[in-house]
Amino acid sequence: ETLALCAYSQSFLFRLRSGCKLFVAAASGLVEIDPASPFAIRLARLCQDLPGATEIQQTSLSEAPSTLRECWREWLPEYLLLIPLHDQAGLLLGHAIYARETPWLAAELRALEQVHCSYAYCLAALERVRGPWQQLGRQLVQSRQWRWAALSVLVLLLAPVPLSAL
């Protein structure tokens, strides 16, 4: 729905994996992104190579480092807007990147900054750290010992038990 706020030709959501590596989580116009596709690999590399920002940052192809220009020219329009998404503690959750052919106006930047505060809040709520019992339960279900214990219980339940009493 951000398109109703300001016009752009492409948008991407980058999320953090393992605390430091960015990957393309969503892209406008695509239902699903194959992480092994050249598009996703080059965009993730491009986002990693962009200068880290703590605030909303606008950049253009002419300002980009020479190492990024070829990839940029191939996949993206002239202007990029990088919006970091932080939780309430200030930890980086990811980046929203918007691309279009014209520079961004100051009013658009303010509006996008406001709406992305809400986006970051919602993303942080969805990624909320689970409690210790939920983490323990998830580890048990995913462990090999848990599977063997569940299989053993199933085998024991199949054993016949006489129902007679003296």
What six digits make up the tokens of 125?
A: 């709520």
Q: Residue 113: which residues within 8 A CB-CB, separation 6 or more?
A: 56, 83
What six digits make up the tokens of 94?
A: 């990811």
Whether 88 shows a pLDDT value over 80: the answer reads: yes
Angle (CA) 118-110-59 rounded to 5° is 105
Give residue 20's pLDDT band: very low, low, confident or very high (50, 70, 90): low
Give residue 138's pLDDT band: very low, low, confident or very high (50, 70, 90): low
Higher pLDDT, 165 or 124: 124
CA distances from 136 to 47, 131, 141 (A): 34, 9, 9
pTM, two decimal places: 0.69
What is the per-residue pLDDT for 155? 92
For the ranges 30-34, 110-114, 127-131, 157-161, which has the lowest average pLDDT? 127-131
Q: Residue 142: which residues within 8 A CB-CB, separation 6 or more?
A: none
At residue 53, the 3 state secondary structure works out as coil
Whether 127 shows a pLDDT value over 80: the answer reads: no
What is the per-residue pLDDT for 115? 92
Whether 15 shows a pLDDT value over 70: the answer reads: yes
**139, 120 in Cβ contact below 8 A?**
no
Q: 């393309």: which residue's tokens?
A: 24
Instruction: Report d(CA 44, CA 25) in Å as an integer.
Output: 10
First to last CA, the chain: 74
At residue 23, the 3 state secondary structure works out as strand
